[in-house]
């Protein structure tokens, strides 16, 4: 089956620093990738849709200048949390959709971000 | 995308069938029913999807009522490793987004 690799699995950073999370589709090309965040005991919340070669589309209430998304190739999307604060501590998950395939999404294993 | 309603939690005995219901009374004709699950601290995993016919794969069966207003995910022989949050989602197949609701916490007990 299709594999989505997310890196790092967990990261601890100081308040005010920036953190980059990578999402790679290992064995398929993904025109579209999605970024979610999840707080403890809550459901996944869609943050943005990332399209290869174009600007990401952010969901209402998500700050695009704080959560920078880049989708430079068909196999890689990155999420950068800029000037991180403790309230940004969360579980971030990416997913990818097969190019030309609409049936299902494949998810990464997630990144636990802790901002001190 | 249509909204779904699922029970907050369910328990199931190991080895027995787990039947997880989902209501989607506002589903429209071009919306599919998808099921994903999320094991603790991992990314969601695709299980199955369907439009109006019942579906079966190696993981589960999906039963959709004739009026399509509800569905049931069936795990035929639940194991402890099936303990997870199960999400029922409806969306247009060409739709770009997958929006998660609260899901059902399934606890499989020995």
DSSP, residue by residue, chain B: ----B--SEEEEETTS-EEEEEE-TT--TTEEEEEEEE-TTS--EEEEEESSS-EE-SS-EEEE-TTSSEEEEEETT--GGG-EEEEEEEEETT---------EEEEEE-
- Tell me: cis bond preceding B79? Omega within 30 of 0 counts: no
User: Which of B46, B49, B101 comes nearest A43 by C-beta?
Assistant: B101
Q: Inter-chain contact A95–B44, Cβ cutoff 8 Å? A: yes
The answer to whether residue A32 neighbours chain B at the CB level (below 8 Å) is yes
pLDDT at A100: 57
pLDDT at B82: 97
* Averaged pLDDT for residues B41-70: 94
* Averaged pLDDT for residues B62-82: 97
d(CA A58, CA A71): 14
What A81-84 contacts at long range (C-beta under 8 Å, 24+ apart), as own/partner pairs, is A81/A18, A81/A19, A81/A20, A81/A21, A81/A113, A82/A18, A83/A16, A83/A17, A83/A18, A84/A13, A84/A15, A84/A16, A84/A17, A84/A18, A84/A19, A84/A113, A84/A115
Closest CA in chain B for residue A107: B43
A66's tokens: 């704080």
d(CA A54, CA A99): 15
The answer to whether residue B45 neighbours chain A at the CB level (below 8 Å) is yes
User: Which of A43, A104, A109 comes nearest B42 by C-beta?
Assistant: A109
- The CA-CA-CA angle for residues A95, A52, B38, to 5°, reads 5
The answer to whether residue B39 neighbours chain A at the CB level (below 8 Å) is no
Cα B93 from chain centroid?
A: 16
Q: pLDDT (tens digit, 9 = 90+) per residue, B27-45?
A: 988 888 999 999 988 999 9
Closest CA in chain A for residue B50: A103
pLDDT at B3: 86
pLDDT tier at A53 (50, 70, 90 boundaries)? Answer: confident
pLDDT at B93: 60
Q: What percent of chain B has pLDDT over 90?
A: 77
pLDDT at A114: 97
- DSSP code per residue over A21-72: EEEEESSS--SEEEEEEE-TTS--EEEEEEETTS--EEPTT--TTTEEEEEE
pLDDT at B84: 97
Q: pLDDT (tens digit, 9 = 90+) per residue, A55-110?
A: 899 999 999 999 999 988 889 999 999 999 999 999 999 999 876 555 678 999 99
Q: Is the pLDDT of residue B92 over 80?
A: no
Q: Inter-chain contact A104–B45, Cβ cutoff 8 Å? A: no
pLDDT at B78: 97
């Amino acid at each position: 089956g299709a594999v989505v690799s997310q890196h790092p699995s967990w990261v601890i950073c100081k308040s005010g620093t920036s953190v980059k999370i990578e999402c790679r589709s290992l064995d398929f090309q993904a025109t579209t990738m999605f970024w979610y965040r999840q707080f403890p005991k809550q459901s996944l919340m869609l943050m943005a849709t990332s399209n290869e070669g174009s600007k990401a589309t952010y969901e209402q209430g998500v700050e695009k200048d704080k959560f920078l998304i880049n989708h430079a190739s068909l196999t890689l999307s990155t999420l950068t949390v800029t000037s991180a604060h403790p309230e940004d501590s969360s579980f971030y998950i990416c997913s990818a959709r097969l190019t030309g395939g609409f049936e299902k999404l494949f998810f990464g294993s997630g990144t636990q971000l802790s901002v001190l | 995308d249509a909204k779904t309603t699922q029970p907050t939690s369910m328990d199931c005995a190991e080895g027995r069938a787990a039947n997880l219901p989902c209501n989607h009374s506002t589903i429209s004709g071009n919306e599919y029913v998808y099921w994903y699950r999320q094991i603790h601290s991992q990314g969601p995993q695709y299980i199955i999807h369907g439009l109006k016919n019942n579906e079966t794969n190696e993981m589960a069966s999906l039963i959709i009522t004739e009026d399509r207003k509800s569905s049931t995910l069936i795990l035929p022989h639940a194991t402890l490793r099936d303990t997870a949050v199960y999400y029922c989602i409806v969306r247009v197949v060409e739709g770009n987004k997958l929006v998660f609701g609260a899901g059902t916490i399934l606890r499989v007990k020995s």
